[in-house]
Amino acid sequence: MFVSPDLRCKWEPVREAAFGSVVASYAALGDPFAHPISILRIVSTLDKDVYLSFDGVNNHIYVAAMESFVYDLSSNKSGYKLVIPKGTQLYQKRGPGGASSTGGITAMATYGTK
């Protein structure tokens, strides 16, 4: 019988941008990920929509105003490990509704380690 090794859940530092930092072109949201990320939580307290990108060019995730969600890449795995690669930079920019006047966008990331 195969017994998988125990992994510990660890957290990367929170990445956040206040409403004044969410502008019309992509800007980095914190530092690049220092580890392969298995769970990513996004919380927006902005009063306008925002886009997130993993390459700083294309819109990858649309985040509605006041939205919160979790991407659990580690759930329902079967023989593989799906992660956001180490070194990936997350970017943010304002959405089609224009500039926010309050709030911020926050990303929280977890990873597994022995």
Residue 61's pLDDT is 97
pLDDT one-digit tens code per residue, 24-77: 999 999 999 999 999 999 999 999 999 999 999 999 999 999 999 999 998 766
Q: Is residue 7 part of a domain?
A: no
Q: Is residue 77 part of a domain?
A: yes
Backbone angles phi and psi of 14, in degrees to 5: -65, 140
Q: Is residue 30 part of a domain?
A: yes
User: For residues 7 and 14, which has the higher predicted lDDT (pLDDT)?
Assistant: 14
Instruction: Give the pTM.
Output: 0.89
User: What is the rounded distance in angstroms from the CA atom of residue 103 to the CA atom of residue 87?
Assistant: 27
User: What's the mean pLDDT when you consider all of the chain?
Assistant: 92
Backbone angles phi and psi of 61, in degrees to 5: -130, 130
Range of the domain at 51: 15-113
Task: Pull the structure tokens for residue 63.
Answer: 């985040």
Helices (H) and strands (E) in the chain, counts: 0, 9
When divided into structural domains, the chain yields a total of: 1
Q: Strand, coil or helix: what is 44?
A: strand
Q: Is residue 2 part of a domain?
A: no
Q: Is the pLDDT of residue 107 over 90?
A: yes
CATH classification of the domain holding 64: 2.60.120
Q: Is the pLDDT of residue 2 over 60?
A: no
Q: Is residue 35 part of a domain?
A: yes
Q: Is residue 8 part of a domain?
A: no
